[in-house]
Structure formats: structure tokens, C-alpha cells
Structure 1
């Protein structure tokens, strides 16, 4: 296929231009690689290669200023800011950086478009003055300071740019302005050098001055790449800038305009795909490439152009493994590298300047893939020991000294990660650099799997070296928070370059990297409003109307830039695949780009429109079924011999699979750190406190005086049990303080209930507290012994009636301890599990001959204490009457259901089947 670069070279050859003496100026370095590649196609003899430079390199050469990074500019600008601003008005570097970034962008635009600086800054100050009612007196201190800031903008600009020029430094706009002012001097020194500008579109004023000066002195040629369809349509933004240059440049009054082409109207296969979500687009690009490979195995002259560069990683993951030659023009952002998450976590941990560290932040760091190997000492994983100790002791906050006590042999790495970060910024940077070196030692065996990790470490080492150098030179970073801000600024602008085949196979690039290049097959992703084009965004101090008046670019011009790039890609292409997101996201997506609508309305090409829906397999939700094998039967027999507890049996009723996991496989929930006191911990504290109070009173009657004597002990015993159960968790503040007070209130309210009952004339004798029960159940159908075991919270005698009492810190209502049909007691967990438990306790105590029937059994609910003792009762169907006394008949009916439940558990023909939640 013919390309724009090849057309230019052939035209130069036709005009007998000596290419060795030509300086080619292109919009990007990337285009220079393709120009070098296509040079041999027009050469007939060996010659010295022409000079090829990007426009940025060219203007740097003319201006004799060196470009510096945005971060360095920020530091240099702060120097100027400090010298102009007065003491009370000075922002910290961190606060300064937030608005200075925007101001530097405005400086850049003003200089690139060679605007009179004093005029525009005075204009801005006058606008702000009007906004704040300049005639209104008296002005507040805030308004005075605000207006003073706007009045100083020109002073900031003058001082800053003067300082940069003095040191032969500059930002892009300043370099362009200086180059425009020095172009006459450059022409005088280079009277024989021919310059060829090709592929340009939107030129700033400085570029226009430079190029026109060279054209008028016959030292340059310029080749435009614009199609007739766009140029002749005055409403088409793809030719917005080219029309302006053609109409406004004096040079074109007497010289031909090169070139207007007719490539866009040639037949093209254009397919438009609407695909849900960004990841869907990435996956479909992989599908398209797979199909394209069948006709073009090497995918020569094929490019994937990413409208949204955040799609790079998903697209790379979707590219078929059969593609051998691949070139990625875009860099891999350093902020997406796994190592970035480690330093993010470290900075977030230390920027609060706390002497103790939150356990989740600690675990996140010591579990990080790059840090974990540092904790292996003598084949012992001290990171695992640290995590286990934190979980076991319920440590929510830890100091560095405590960490070193737990993992003494890892003190060196703990020192790097957690010590002295707030001592000084230099120390923090020193720790980061030493941490990188320590990690490097773990990857020094240069195996293929470690090469990428070593590359990551090298780039981050460079980044921290740059931070150290900047801090040493300028001394503006005073705390970890500011250091973190500068680190993030540097990180966002750095990338890891890919190595690939720059001229072979598939090309993956962003929209701007596609300038001047032509491909036969193009896949363009994210062609949505807000992405391509990017739409309205005004990250500037200069209002829209001021930009219009001063001929500065607005969002309309920026949209026109992307319109040109989009349509230029289509000009010489034969196969075009346009993808857009059909799903409405928070900020972008959902609406296809105006570019697609424009293609439809033009009527030049026949667009094939498709909506792609991902293939979603119908996955039937199958309940888990575990077949009972002879081996499982042996495990069940062993479990029966050890004994079933009422809670384990109700667990089976709730979900047999949970019973299988916990009782057969012995899988327990991980003992996580309990930041807020859990309900079961609260229950344990209340139970244990009441056990302490009532255990000494076994076999004796209680009185009001005895109960009142327990009150002063509430504080001590509750605190003791919290310390025992909640370990080193803090109950002195926040929710935990409230929960500890609730525990005390529960105990106090229980004692109130007891006194109320005694005052009503009830005689209460404590028979047993936390009574252990362990009985054998005779089940003839089973050839192994079956035990039932459990602890009863309290057994007492009230007015001659034995009561079995179970404490519940949660809320229980009377209807949860009532039953109509006996078969329901083992089938409906939600309704009857409480009834099952208290009857199981009654059954065990009766079978062990510890009490005589009839008795009562029930629950005292601490969240429903006003209802007192909630007695189990058997209701007759269709009748309101209920019997609260538990007799032989009651326990006999319960025994039948109990044995049936145990038989079901032990029956090898009934599998463990998950219940639907």
C-alpha cells in the first residue's frame, strides 16, 4: 500500500532534492522510525542518511533551552513563588503544587501561542476583581488575599521564566516562544540547510512563525496530509486547521499547497461494533486479531489504536498467543506495576505520623509479593508468625517495637518498613532505596521469571534517586505527606518502555502515536463521546471567553485535533474496525462518538453496524452434595462416639453441608482480628460473668441481699472477661466502649429481674451452673455408641418447679420456644432451633437422673428481659391452650425426633445435601 511518508519521499526524489542535506521535521519520533524504514524504497545509490528530528527537538535546538520534567518545573516555580510571596501568604509546597500545576499549563499555552503575557494576566486580575465587587468596601481579608494572588500572576511568570532562561532551561511553551523569537538568528546561521515538514495539522502560533519564516526564506518545504473531502467541506473539523493555514499563510498566495489527496473516497470495509464495557472491547480485539491472522498471519500493516490508553493491559492480555511480532508504542505506566502498590501502602501508613500502625495496613505490606520473601529467615516465615500473632491476640494497633518482639530475626526488614520514616524526608527516601536493594537481593538469580521484577526495581530505583536529587537541590519537601504527593506526580509521568519489533507485525499505539503513519488494517477502540473526542474539559485558570479573545485553543480546537487524527487513520486504510462501549459508565461511555454518526451521515462509505453481546453460559446453580462413603461412615461413627452437641445438631438442621465441613472435615472459621466486639464475644462475656456470680451459690437459695451484693462486682468481672476473650483489643473507646457498657447493663438488668422475682415472693434455689451433661443414647439401628453432650447455663428450682435456663444475648420471642407438631422441631431451623436446644438439655438431664419430672425449660433473652423467663410450651393444634410443663410424654416425643435426626445423619444412603438459603 502507498503511505504518506512514501509519497513525500517520492516527490522529493522527483524534484531532485539531495536527501543527505535535508532535515526532516516530524510531529513525533515514532514517525522518524518509519521514515528511515521507507527511505531505501526511493534511493538508487548509497548516501548519508538525512537528519530526522521531532518538532520538539527542532525548537529546542533553535531556542537553545533544555526541556525539564513537570516535577522539576514545579520545584523551580516554587523557588520563584517563595521569593515573591510574603511570609503570611506562603502556601506549603503540597498546597502550592495543587494550583501551580494548572498555572504552569496556562503559562505553557500562553507562550506556545505567543500571547502578550502582561495583557492577559492583567485581564484575568480585572475579571476576578469585578467578580468580587471591586467597589464594595470594606473588603474582607480573604477577598484581599484572593485578589492579590491574581495580581501577582504576571510577577510569578516574569520571575519564573527569567530564572529558567538564565539557566538555559524551559518548559515546552517557553522553548517554543524563545525559538520563535530566535528564528531569524537560526536562519542566518543555516542558510544552506533544507527543512522538510511533513504530517503537521494543528500548529501553535510559535510553530507557525518558525515554519513560515523558513518557507519565506526558501529553506523549507511543508507537506500536509489532508483529503479533499474534508478540505472542501467547511463544516468538517478534520480540516479546520489546514483550511486556516491554507487561507491565512502568505506563502500559499504564490506557492502550491501540498497536498490535497483523494484517498478517503476509495472503497473501504468499515465495521462498527457496539460492545458492552471496556473489557468487552479488549476481548473482542483479541477475537478480531485471531480472525485477521487467517488472511494475514504476520499481521503486517495492522494497527490497534487505543482511544482510551487505560485499555492497554486488557488488550495485551487478549492478544492471541500465535502473534509473534508485536510492537507497543505506548509505555507501561509505572503506577500500574505491582511494586507501586507497595510504596503506596508504605506512604499511606507513614503520612499520618502515628507511632502505632493499623493491623490491616501492616498485613497488606508484610504480605506483599515483593516484601514477603524478605521475612524468610533460616527457612522460617516470620511474616506468617506476625500475622498469626496479630490474629490470635486481637492486635488492632501495633508499634514497631512490638513487631520486633514478635519477629526479632526480621528486625532489619521491619526497620526499613516501619522505623524512622517521620524522622526526616531524607531518612524516608533512604529507607525506600535500601528496601529496593534488599528486594533486589531476592531476585538476583537472573532467572527468566525474575527479569521483569528486576526491571521494575531498576525503574523505581531511578525514581527514588530523582526524588532524592530534587529534595537535596531544593529542600521543599518537609514531610511524608508532601513527599507522597511529589512521588505520585513523578510516578504518573513515568512509564516502562516495551521492547518489540518497531516495523514488523502488529502495532499497538495510542491515537497521538498514529500521527503520519498509515496502515492497511485499523482497529480503533473506545470511540465514545467523552473519549474520542474527549469533550469539554477546562483545567485552566483562563475563562473560555478570554481564550476566544486571545485566540487560545478551547475544547472545540482540541476536539478538532482528534477529529483530524481519527479521519487521517481512515484515509489510506482498507479495513477499519471501530469499537465503542454501549454501557453507560460513571463518567464516560454509553454514547457512541459523533465520529461514528458523522461517518453514517456522510454516506461515502457503507458502514456495517454490529452489536456484540458476550456469550454468557447458563450456569445452573447446583446444590453441593457430598456422597456418604464407608470412610465417611467411620468418621460419623467416631463423631457419634465423641458426642453430638445440641448446637451441632441444630447446625445440621440449618445446613447439612455446614455440619459436614465443621464436624467431619474439622474446618473452622479463621480467627480474624476482631476490631469491634462481635456478638458471640459479648455473649461469652455475659455468660462467664454470670457463671462467676452464681457458681458459688449452687445448692443454696438466693436472696435479695445476696443478689445486691453481686452488683459492685459487675465492673471488675465484665472487664476481666473482656480482657480474656477480646485479648488485646481496645474497649476504652468507640463502639467497643459502648458494647462493654451494654455487657454491664445486661448483667445489671438480669440482677434487677432476679430481685423483681424475689420481691414477688418467688423462692429460687440454684441447683447447677454450667452443668456438664454426657449421656449415651440407645439407638438399636446403629452398631456404634451414640453420645449427646452439652452444658446447661443454669438449673434452678423456682417455687418447687425445676427450671432449665439457657441464656441468649440476642433477641428471642415467646413464639420461638413453642411447638405444635413434633415433626417440625427438626425441619424448621429458624422457628424451632431454640426449642430443640432447650429440650435437648432437659432430655440429657432427665436421662442422667439429675432431676425429676415434670420440669420447665426455657430461655432468658437479654434483649427481651422484660418478658422474663420464656418457657417452652407444647400447643395443641387449633387451640390457644399450651402446656409449659415438660413431662415423660414430652421428652418421649422429643426423643423420637432426636433419634430420627441422628439416624439421618449417620445413614450412608442419605447424602449430605446443601440447603437453599
Structure 2
């Protein structure tokens, strides 16, 4: 394949041009690098290299102005805005930046296209007046301010541009306009300097004026790269601009138009693949590269062109490891670097002034990969210590002093992260810079293994140095919110450049970086409507019809630019792979680009089209099974000797695998911070309060006076137990206050129930409260001792009948403590776990001879107190008319003991594995 650059150099050599004395002007710096690479292939003798510059560099040289970043332009523009606006009407810098960004773009377009400034701004002002309010006799202040804004546009422009010119700086449009102004003296001062313009397509009026004037004076040559197929088709947007130049430039009326090529119609292998999702495209690019490498052994003339540059990271992760030579023309966005998430979290934390911090924000920051290591001091991991203390003490909000109290020797790090920025920009920037230095000092210890993180830190140090400079020079940043906005603006424009082989191996680039370059094999991703081309967008104060009238570019011209770049990539390529996303994403509808449809309708090339779907393996869901090895059997025996609790046995009934995790592996749920009081905490508080109330009453008959005396202590006891269980959590407001009141209400309602029972003539005597029981049971089938242990909430005697009572703060219904078939007791957790639990308590107390049968056992449900004591009952059949036996006799205990022992035998049986139950 002969490239366009090679053809240009060959033509110049054939025309006896002295290449060393030429100035090559190209659309981009990257194209200049490839031109240097092609020179030795054309020139066989040693020569001085010609001057090779981009169009931006050439125009800057002409204008004698220096281009400055967009962020700094905003600060300069705000200076002008302050001078021209009354103090009472001033927008803050943050508000100003939102509309000033758009206005700067319009200034840029107006200047690049050499539009008479005063006339267009006056025209815009007149349009607004005419459209909306010219006929209204009495205009509101809002209307007056709105029209005043449009009337001031030219004043803003004039003051701002004069200010920039005085400082010898400018935005791109102003630089172009000044370049045109300086063109005549430049030509007079360089009467013999020859310029070669190559690879251009869409030119603004300034560029057209400069190039035409140089051509007219015999100081330039220009080489176009356009194919006959596009140029001859008047409706083909790939040649929209080139056609205009060819027809409208006076120079081409008497001079040849170089060049119209015929490369596009040559035979090509074009494949179009529809692939679900962006990640699917990235993965398929990796697969394609692997295939191409195996077939050609080289990727020297292969380019991956990303229509959506957000695909860079997924594509890099998908590149086969066998590809060694690689060049990435796009920088890695600084906002995608892990360090950016740290500063984003810090800005979020300090944006609103507060003396205390939300625990999730604190944990997020101290757990960050760049922060956690610097909390490791003198072999103590203070980050873990902080997290554990926050969780165990239920700290929902905590201040800097509390953090320093926990992380004593890391207090200087706590100060850097959590010292209040107090709306002070200097403090914020100083803390961020010191933090960067602290991270760097840690990374320096293992420098060899931390080269990439050190590069990250270096770039962020540069960014904050620039923020510090802007703040000290302009003094426009008045609050943290504005600082955050400026930080994000700078961050969005900064990239981390890759080091690669610029002229070797695989090339990964964006669409604009492909200008003037040619490749044998091209892979283009994200060829979707809304991406390529980008479609309609109107981020401008200038209406569409005004743009057309003044020959300013609209979305149609912008689409034509991408049409040219897309087709240019195809012109000399032999193998083309076009990928598009078939699925609707946030910003796209999964519609393939019109470019693909146009390729189909042209009928010039055969196009292989396929819809690809990833191979998704079908993973059959399988139940988790744990084999009972000899080691595991020993652990089960030890557990049996220590004692099974009723809750652990019901846990096994619910799901044996959960029993294995909790009782054998001792895996507990992590005690995270309870922002809202959890149900188990509420239950514990109620249980402990009742324990405090009734423990002193053991052996006593309850009276109305005793219970009324207890009611007066509810507030004190509930508060005490909440503080004990909920640690430093706040129960004074919000949902927690409601739950605190619910706990008091539960206790109060229970005591009211007791009073009601006593007044009804029931004699209630307290026998035991929170009684611990551990008993040994004899199971002949097992050759080791087995114990059962548990704690009964309450045992009392009501009218001579012993009652075993279990408190439940949740809702329990009568049918949940009734049973028909004994076999169901150990198989259906949902229906019979409550019955199993109370029967186990009765069985344990009977064996330990603490009670004499018959007894009653059951539940008191605090959410169903109106039902009173819910007694266990054995029913002779299902249904509401079944006979119920609520007394637990020896017969009941014997029947239950059979089920209990069978369950324990199953748990201990080495031949029955722990098998997960289907949920």
C-alpha cells in the first residue's frame, strides 16, 4: 500500500522541490511524525529535515499570540465581566462559568469564520427583543436583565479580546483572526518561503483565507486527499468541503486540483459486526487482533480507531498478551485514574461545612487504595482500627477529634483528610498538596514497584499546582463548590500520555488522530448513530438560521467532517472491520450509523454483515454440598459435647448449609453500623428491660401495684439498654426515635397485659427469668455425649399451671405454635420452628427436673399482644375444628424427644452430608 504522505513526498521530489527548504503544514502533530518517517523512503541522500508543523502551530506563529487553556480563559473572561457589570448584578464565578463556556465557544466560531463581530451580536440582540418582548409596554426586571445581557455581548467580546491581545494570549478563534490580520506582513517578510499544505478537508474562513493568499502569492502548494467516487457524487458528504474548495477557490480555476484519487473503488474486505454492548465490542476487537496476528504475524499496518474514546480502557484490557509493539495516540483520561476518586470524595465531604462526618464517607476515604497504606504506622493498621471502632460503636456521625482519638499516631493524616476546609480555598489546596506529598513519600519507599502510581501522583500534583496558581493570580474562587467546579474542568482536559512505539506495531487512536494516515487493516468501533456521526447538538447562543446566514458550521457540517474521516480510513485500506453496538445504552439507541447504511446502498463493495453474540455458558444451578470428612466429624462431635441450642437446631432445619457456616466454620455476619435500629437490637432491648424488671420478682406473686411501679421505670431502663446495645448511635431523632418509642410502647403494653390478667383474677407467680439450662441427653446410636443448652425467657405459674414463655418482638400467630404430625416438626422451618423451640425448652426443663409435667409452653408476641399467651397445641387433625391439647404431658415430651434425637442423629451422621436446601 502506498500512503498519501508518501505520494505527496514523491510528487514534490519529482517536481525538483528542495524538501529541506519547505514548511509542511498538516492537520495534526501526529501526521508530522509519520511524514518524518516517510522522508528517508523517498530521499536517498542526506538532507536537512524540513520544517514540519501543525496548522495550529503555524497560525500561532502568524498571530504572534500564545494559546491558553480554556480554564484560564474563563478566569480572564471573568475579569472583563467584573469590570463591565454592576456589583449588585454580578454572577458568582460558578454561575458565570456555566454560560461563559458557551459564549466562549461562540466567540471562537465567530472569529475563526471572520464574521463581523458587532453586526452579528447586534443582530442576536435584536432577534431576542423582536421574538419575545418588543411589543410589551411594561417590561419586568427579569425581561430587562435578559435583554441587557444580549445587548452586552459585543461589549463583553470587545473588552475581553482587547484584554487578551494586550497580554499576547488568545483563544483559538482570536489567534486565527489575528493570523489573518498579520498575513500580509508575513508574506512580505518571507517572499521565498514555500509551504506545503496536505491532508486538509474542512477549513474555516481564516484557514481558507491564509491558504488562498499564500497560493495566490506562489508561496504554497496544497494536496487534497479525496476520492473520485465521493467528489463526483454531489450528495456524498465525504467530499462536501473539498467540492466547495474546488468550485469556489479562484486558484483552481487556473491550477490543477491535487489530488483526486481512485483508491476507494479497489477491492476491499469489509465486514460489519453488530455486537451487544460496548464491552462486547472491546472483547471482539481483542479476538480480531488475535486472528489478524496469527494470519499476518505483524500488526505494522493495523489501526484500531475508537469512535467512542471511552472504550480505550476496555480495549486495552482486551488486547492479546502476544502483542508487544503498541502505540496509543489518545491519552488516558486523568478522571479515570483511581486517585481522582479520592479527591472527588474529599470535595464531596468538605463541600458543605459540618463539624461531623457521615461514617460511610469516612470509611470510603480511609479505605481508598492510596490512603490506607499511609495509615499503617509502626506496624499498626490505623485504617482497620478506625473502621472496626466505627462499626463496633455504631458511630453514624463522628468528628475529627474522635478520629484522632482512635488513630492516635496517624493524627497528622486525619488532619490532612478531615480538617475542616472551612470555606477556605487556601486551606483546601494546601491540604490536598500535603496529602499528595504524603502519598508520594510512601510510594517512594518501594519506588521500583510503584512507578505508575507515582506518575499518577505527579500529574495530580501538577493539577493542584495549577489550581493554586489560578487561585492566587485571579482570586475568583470564593467557595469550595466553585473550586470543585474548576477542579473538574481541569481534570476533564488532562490526560496521562502513554509511552509506546509511535511508528511500530498496532496503532490505537481516536477518529481525529487518524487524519492523513493510511493503514492496510482498520478496525472501527462504535459506528452508531449519535456517536459516528454525533448528531444534532446546539451548545450555542447563536440560533441555527443565524448560523446558516453567516456561513457558520451547524451539525450538518460537523457530521460531514466525520463522514470524511470515516471514508478516508476506508480509501486505501484492504481489510476493514466495522463494529457497532446493537443494544440501547444511556446515550444511544443501538441504531447502526447511517455510514453503514450508505456503504450498503453504494453497492461498490461486498459487505459481510453479521450480528454477533457472546458465548454465554449455561451454568446449571447446583446445591452446595459439604462432605463430612473425618476432620469435620470431629468438629461436629465437639459441638455436640459443647451443646446444641434450640436456635441452632432450627437453623439446621431451615438450611443445613447455614448451620455448617455458623456453627462449624464459626462465620458470623459482619457487625456493620446500624444507621437505623435493627430488629434484633430492638428485641434485645425489650428482652433486657423485662429481665431487669422481673429478676427481682423471683418467687413472688405479681400484684397491680408491683406492675404499676415497674411502668414508672420504663423510660430509664429502655434508655439504658438502648445505650448499651446501640452504643454511640443516635436515638434522639428520625426513625431511631420512633423505634425507641416503639420499644417503650412494647414494654408498656406488656405490663398493661399483666395488669389486665391480674385484675381478671389470675394468680401469676414468677419462677424463673432468663434461666440458663444445659442438659445431657442419651442417644444410644451415638458413641459420644450430646448436650442441649438454652436460655428460657420466662417461667411462671398461672393459676397453678407452670408456663414456659418465649418473648418474640416480631409477629407470631396461634397457628405457628400448633402441630398435627410430629414428622413435620423437623422438616418445615417456617411453620413449626416456634413449636420446636418452646418444646425444646420444656424438654430441657423437664429433664433437669426444674418443672413437673404437665405444663404449658408458648409465645408472647409483642406485635400480637391482643392474642395474649399463644400456647403450644397438639391437634388431632388439620383445620379449625380440630381437637387441641395445650397441656404438655409426658406423652408429648416423649413424642418430641424422638424427633429431637432423630434430628441430632442426622446432624452427626457421617454419611449424611450438609446439603443446601432450595430456597
Q: TM-score range by the shorter chain?
A: over 0.9
Match of 2:277 in 1: 277
Go from structure 1 to structure 2 and tell me whether the alpha carbon gap of 1:649 and 1:149 turns closer, same or farther (over 3 Å shift): same
For 1:138 and 1:897, the matched residues in 2 are separated by 91
Q: Judge conservation of contact 1:84–1:156 (CA < 8 Å) in 2.
A: yes
Match of 1:464 in 2: 464
Cα distance, 1:149 vs. partner? Answer: 2.0
For 2:645 and 2:212, the matched residues in 1 are separated by 94
Cα distance, 1:609 vs. partner? Answer: 0.9
Cα distance, 1:103 vs. partner? Answer: 1.4
Match of 2:795 in 1: 795
Match of 1:597 in 2: 597
Q: Judge conservation of contact 1:62–1:182 (CA < 8 Å) in 2.
A: yes
Q: Judge conservation of contact 1:685–1:722 (CA < 8 Å) in 2.
A: yes
Cα distance, 1:555 vs. partner? Answer: 1.0
For 2:131 and 2:360, the matched residues in 1 are separated by 48
Q: Map of 1:215-230 to 2, 5 A cutoff?
A: 215-230=215-230
Give a deviation string over 1:332-364, Cα, whole Å, max 9, x none. Answer: 111111111111111111111111111111111
* Alignment size in residue pairs: 917
For 2:692 and 2:345, the matched residues in 1 are separated by 45
For 1:346 and 1:570, the matched residues in 2 are separated by 47
Match of 1:357 in 2: 357
Match of 2:663 in 1: 663
Match of 1:525 in 2: 525
Cα distance, 1:92 vs. partner? Answer: 1.3
Q: Judge conservation of contact 1:396–1:729 (CA < 8 Å) in 2.
A: yes
Structure 1 residue 900 corresponds to structure 2 residue 902: yes
Structure 1 residue 157 corresponds to structure 2 residue 190: no
Q: Judge conservation of contact 1:132–1:143 (CA < 8 Å) in 2.
A: no
Match of 1:885 in 2: 887
Look up the SS of the partner of 1:443 in the other structure.
helix
For 2:474 and 2:624, the matched residues in 1 are separated by 65
Go from structure 1 to structure 2 and tell me whether the alpha carbon gap of 1:516 and 1:831 turns closer, same or farther (over 3 Å shift): same
For 1:273 and 1:627, the matched residues in 2 are separated by 48
Match of 1:714 in 2: 714
Cα distance, 1:81 vs. partner? Answer: 1.1
Structure 1 residue 916 corresponds to structure 2 residue 918: yes
Structure 1 residue 309 corresponds to structure 2 residue 309: yes
For 2:241 and 2:752, the matched residues in 1 are separated by 87
For 1:420 and 1:750, the matched residues in 2 are separated by 48
For 2:816 and 2:122, the matched residues in 1 are separated by 79
Match of 1:122 in 2: 122
Match of 1:63 in 2: 63
Cα distance, 1:765 vs. partner? Answer: 1.9
For 1:377 and 1:18, the matched residues in 2 are separated by 67
Cα distance, 1:809 vs. partner? Answer: 1.1
Cα distance, 1:881 vs. partner? Answer: 2.3
Match of 1:201 in 2: 201
For 1:239 and 1:271, the matched residues in 2 are separated by 23
For 1:51 and 1:87, the matched residues in 2 are separated by 51
Match of 2:424 in 1: 424
Cα distance, 1:141 vs. partner? Answer: 2.6
Look up the SS of the partner of 1:796 in the other structure.
strand
For 1:298 and 1:440, the matched residues in 2 are separated by 40
**More deviation, 697-706/213-222:** 697-706
Cα distance, 1:445 vs. partner? Answer: 4.2
**More deviation, 672-681/116-125:** 116-125
Go from structure 1 to structure 2 and tell me whether the alpha carbon gap of 1:762 and 1:136 turns closer, same or farther (over 3 Å shift): farther
Q: Which runs of 5 or more residues in structure 1 are unaligned? A: none
Give a deviation string over 1:387-414, Cα, whole Å, max 9, x none. Answer: 1111111111111111111111111211
For 1:146 and 1:724, the matched residues in 2 are separated by 61
Q: Map of 1:538-577 to 2, 5 A cutoff?
A: 538-577=538-577
Look up the SS of the partner of 1:700 in the other structure.
coil
Match of 2:233 in 1: 233
For 1:908 and 1:83, the matched residues in 2 are separated by 88
For 1:850 and 1:142, the matched residues in 2 are separated by 86
Look up the SS of the partner of 2:300 in the other structure.
coil
Q: Map of 1:862-881 to 2, 5 A cutoff?
A: 862-878=862-878, 880-881=882-883
Cα distance, 1:543 vs. partner? Answer: 2.0
Give a deviation string over 1:539-562, Cα, whole Å, max 9, x none. Answer: 222222222222211111111110
Give a deviation string over 1:258-292, Cα, whole Å, max 9, x none. Answer: 11110000000001111111111111111111111
For 1:799 and 1:445, the matched residues in 2 are separated by 78
Match of 1:398 in 2: 398
Look up the SS of the partner of 1:532 in the other structure.
coil
Give a deviation string over 1:557-579, Cα, whole Å, max 9, x none. Answer: 11111000000000000000111
For 1:237 and 1:766, the matched residues in 2 are separated by 94
Look up the SS of the partner of 1:792 in the other structure.
strand
Q: Map of 1:764-783 to 2, 5 A cutoff?
A: 764-783=764-783
Cα distance, 1:589 vs. partner? Answer: 4.7
Q: Judge conservation of contact 2:273–2:579 (CA < 8 Å) in 1.
A: yes
Look up the SS of the partner of 2:713 in the other structure.
helix
Cα distance, 1:420 vs. partner? Answer: 4.3
Look up the SS of the partner of 1:631 in the other structure.
helix
Q: Map of 1:177-196 to 2, 5 A cutoff?
A: 177-196=177-196
For 1:563 and 1:174, the matched residues in 2 are separated by 28
Match of 1:684 in 2: 684
Match of 1:728 in 2: 728
For 1:828 and 1:140, the matched residues in 2 are separated by 74
For 1:865 and 1:544, the matched residues in 2 are separated by 72
For 1:696 and 1:262, the matched residues in 2 are separated by 103
Look up the SS of the partner of 2:435 in the other structure.
helix
Go from structure 1 to structure 2 and tell me whether the alpha carbon gap of 1:785 and 1:283 turns closer, same or farther (over 3 Å shift): same
Match of 1:535 in 2: 535
Cα distance, 1:457 vs. partner? Answer: 1.1
For 1:240 and 1:321, the matched residues in 2 are separated by 42
Give a deviation string over 1:810-856, Cα, whole Å, max 9, x none. Answer: 11122111111110111011111111111111111122122222222
RMSD: 1.4
Give a deviation string over 1:25-69, Cα, whole Å, max 9, x none. Answer: 100000000001111122132222111110100111111110000
Q: Judge conservation of contact 2:357–2:398 (CA < 8 Å) in 1.
A: yes
For 2:577 and 2:71, the matched residues in 1 are separated by 39
Match of 2:584 in 1: 584
Q: Judge conservation of contact 1:518–1:573 (CA < 8 Å) in 2.
A: yes
Structure 1 residue 24 corresponds to structure 2 residue 24: yes
**More deviation, 265-274/742-751:** 742-751
Q: Map of 1:65-144 to 2, 5 A cutoff?
A: 65-144=65-144
Cα distance, 1:750 vs. partner? Answer: 1.5
**More deviation, 149-158/894-903:** 149-158
Match of 2:257 in 1: 257
For 2:865 and 2:102, the matched residues in 1 are separated by 64
For 2:864 and 2:464, the matched residues in 1 are separated by 61
**More deviation, 93-102/438-447:** 438-447
Q: Which runs of 5 or more residues in structure 2 are unaligned? A: none
**More deviation, 679-688/856-865:** 856-865
Look up the SS of the partner of 1:784 in the other structure.
coil
Look up the SS of the partner of 1:110 in the other structure.
helix
For 2:869 and 2:552, the matched residues in 1 are separated by 82
Look up the SS of the partner of 2:776 in the other structure.
strand
Cα distance, 1:448 vs. partner? Answer: 3.7
**More deviation, 245-254/464-473:** 245-254
For 2:735 and 2:578, the matched residues in 1 are separated by 55
Q: Judge conservation of contact 1:25–1:198 (CA < 8 Å) in 2.
A: yes
Go from structure 1 to structure 2 and tell me whether the alpha carbon gap of 1:568 and 1:869 turns closer, same or farther (over 3 Å shift): same
Go from structure 1 to structure 2 and tell me whether the alpha carbon gap of 1:117 and 1:414 turns closer, same or farther (over 3 Å shift): same
Match of 1:51 in 2: 51
Q: Judge conservation of contact 1:422–1:479 (CA < 8 Å) in 2.
A: no
**More deviation, 139-148/276-285:** 139-148
Match of 1:42 in 2: 42
Q: Judge conservation of contact 2:350–2:420 (CA < 8 Å) in 1.
A: no
Cα distance, 1:766 vs. partner? Answer: 1.9
Go from structure 1 to structure 2 and tell me whether the alpha carbon gap of 1:131 and 1:814 turns closer, same or farther (over 3 Å shift): farther
**More deviation, 409-418/899-908:** 409-418
Q: Map of 1:825-836 to 2, 5 A cutoff?
A: 825-836=825-836
Task: Give the TM-score normalised by the residue count of structure 2.
Answer: 0.98
